[in-house]
Amino acid sequence: MAITLFLATALMVFVSFVCYRKRHVPVAKTMILIMVAAAFYALGYAFEVLSRNLDEVKLSLHIEYLGIPFVTTLWLFQVIQFTGTAATYRKRLALLLFAIPTAVFFFHLTNDWHHLVYERYDFNEHGLVPLYTTVKGPWYKVHAIYNYFVLLCGILLFIPMYWRSLPIVRKQIGILLLGAIAPMFCNLFFWTGSTVDLTPFGFAISGIAYVWGFYRFHLLRLTPLAMAKVFETIRDGVVLFDYEDQIVTYNQAAGEVLPELVLTKQYPADMGKVLVDNPELLAHIRSTTEGDERFPFHRFQGNRTRHYNCSLSLVHDSGKVLIGKLLVFNDITQLKESETQLRENARQLSELNEFKDKLFTVVAHDIRDPIALLVNLTELLGDELTAADLEHAGVVRELKGQVQSTFHLVENLLDWYRSQKGKVVFRPLGWNLQQVVRQALLLVGSKAGMKRILLTEQVDENLKVIADKEMLDLILRNLLSNAIKFTGSGGAIEIGAVLEGDLIVVSVTDNGVGIDEQTAELLRMEEPALKAMAPVDESGETRFGLALTREFVRIQGGSLWFESEPGKGTTFFFTLPVSNDGGREEDAYESYFGGR
């Protein structure tokens, strides 16, 4: 019997060692104390069995009482930790729980003075074990009643948790219950008249159960409290069903999705009764028997329709046997509402685009043509007044300049609109650059002559470029018009071109006032054309024209930049790809002008 008790002690020390490796978990720390206390109980009892006189028996009992008063209370404290009970005042509760065990320990330590635990020790004349039988005192009986009360409290804490827990947690609860019931059952034999205390062997059974739980069900790896916190803090609604499609438990988020879950007071509950108002949801849950399923779900709550993506998963145990189902509600209401809002925004944007198209149609047909006619009339009127040398000739010339400037802006707007709508057809051909430049100079010659501006070109007659003729004309027209606008009377403008590798760099240089800082900054930031036209004034028109010019240069495969010094002038540079096919350039040029 002593050997068996020593083996039980060794087993409980081993369990303590296993728990020590998980000592960062508070429940594991308590398990260490339980096993150490039970080990002292078994070890002391082994020595009691081997005792040869009363002094050795008393010494053995002192060893036993290092564990006997505390082991059951430690188990209850472990249950409290495991279930998460009284988390806010657990330390004060511990002091209260261990008051009686501590008193029993000191009463036994001083038992020879007052005999409150054992009244006397009687020699056992009828057997070898135990050598002495004890007559129990009042505090022994108090401690026995307290122990059974503690065990009952622990069981009552476990029962509601057992029914609401996941299967893996239920198995952990069962192991911890076995750890308490086995010693209690063995101790009952002692109260029925048996002279041999089998309680230490009950703790040995507990130790075996705990070791099995460690390696089979991950005992103490994650307590139900931690699982419950994870379960409740999941933002998605989660409902757990058993293999009979009964609702076992749910989290708070699921209660917000299905308020009928909260109204049901007792679980497990019949799914058909709880979810009777959701027949489609019931059908999905019942029909899913193989594999996982995803489906939409929506219901009207709080003056709005809430939308969910549902995921129904099958839960299997280690043997691949179906033990339940897990339903997860992922709230996508905000996503759905945002999608609806995006559709509405797209509809409004489409209407705005249609309005913009109509607006530009009006500009193209109802504004451009009258302004073009007005330009011709002002030119005729200006020529007549100048020839007649009338006093209002200057006013008419100013009026003609304003009308031409407005017409130029309208032309730029229409060109930009066609480019944005994809209506500008890019047809690159080979062109003689000198001839194209001279044509552009002829078109602006009269405007420059009015300000006595000298126009010159320094372009090699052999330079040929690949470009779209209409775009190139627009580029030169804009750059020359801006140069004339900001060059004073008697100034000079020069167009030059040089060959650099596979590119031709074209320059337009004037000795005017230079570029204002706002326009220069906008061109460096490469703002969109629409932002460039924000100020509706002369500078705003210039910015818009330059932004449009830059876009057309890019379409040609080149780039635009400038150098400017206030009061001294500006030079704009842009690049075009060089053409090496001499025949094609001449044919293109002749066909272009011949067609006109």
CA–CA–CA angle 274, 278, 284 (5° rounding) = 100
The pTM (predicted TM-score) of the whole model is: 0.43
Long-range Cβ pairs for the range 193-202 (8 Å, 24+)? 195/124, 195/127, 195/129, 195/130, 195/133, 196/1, 196/129, 196/130, 197/45, 199/41, 200/5, 200/8, 200/38, 200/41, 200/42, 200/45, 201/4, 201/5, 201/8
Return all residues near 60 (Cβ < 8 A) that are at least 6 apart. 44, 45, 47, 48, 51
Which pLDDT does position 420 carry in this prediction? Answer: 57
Q: What is the pLDDT of residue 586?
A: 42
Residues 6+ apart with CB under 8 A from 121: 54, 57, 58, 132, 133, 134, 135
Which tokens sit at 577? 């790809």
Neighbours of 147 (CB within 10 A): 23
Rounded Cα distance between 190 and 353, Å, is 94
Tell me the per-residue pLDDT of 387-446, one tens digit each, with 9 for 90 and over. Answer: 666 566 666 666 766 676 666 666 666 666 666 555 556 778 899 999 999 988 988 887
Which of 66-80, 195-209, 500-514 is least confident? Answer: 195-209
Mean residue pLDDT across the chain? 77
Question: Could you please report the per-residue DSSP string of 10-28?
Answer: HHHHHHHHHHHTTTTSHHH
**How would you write 441-464 as a 3-class SS string?**
HHHHHHHHHHCCCEEEEECCCCCE
Q: How many residues does the chain have?
A: 596
Tokens representing 396? 């008419």
Query: Contact, 209 vs 182, CB < 8 A?
Result: yes
- Sign of the Cα torsion 288, 294, 298, 301 reads positive
Of 11-15, 205-209, 358-362, 457-461, least confident by mean pLDDT is 358-362
Strand (E) positions, 203-321? 237-242, 246-250, 269-270, 293-301, 304-316
- Which band of pLDDT confidence, cut at 50, 70 and 90, is reported for residue 26? low
Instruction: State the pLDDT at residue 584.
Output: 43
B/e letters for 514-547, b = 16+ CB within 10 Å, e = fewer, are bbeeebbebbeeeeebeebbeeeeeebbbbbbbb
Residue 105's pLDDT is 92
Which tens digits make up the pLDDT trace of 537-554?
Answer: 455 556 667 777 888 888
- What is the average per-residue pLDDT within 506-527? 80
Contact criterion met (CB below 8 Å) for 234 and 320: no
Amino acid code (one letter) for 75: W
For 116-134, how does the pLDDT look when each residue is reduced to its tens digit (9 = 90+)? Answer: 988 888 777 766 666 777 7
Give the span between the Cα atoms of 87 and 353, in whole angstroms: 63
SS3 312: strand
> Which percentage of the chain shows pLDDT scores above 90?
11
Please tell me the predicted confidence (pLDDT) of residue 209: 74
- What pLDDT score does 389 carry? 60
The SS3 call for residue 5 is helix
With a cut of 60, say whether residue 240 has pLDDT above it.
yes
- Crossing angle between the packed helical segments 433-450 and 469-485, to the nearest 10 degrees: 30
Is pLDDT above 50 for 596?
A: no
Identify the residue with better confidence: 422 or 140: 140
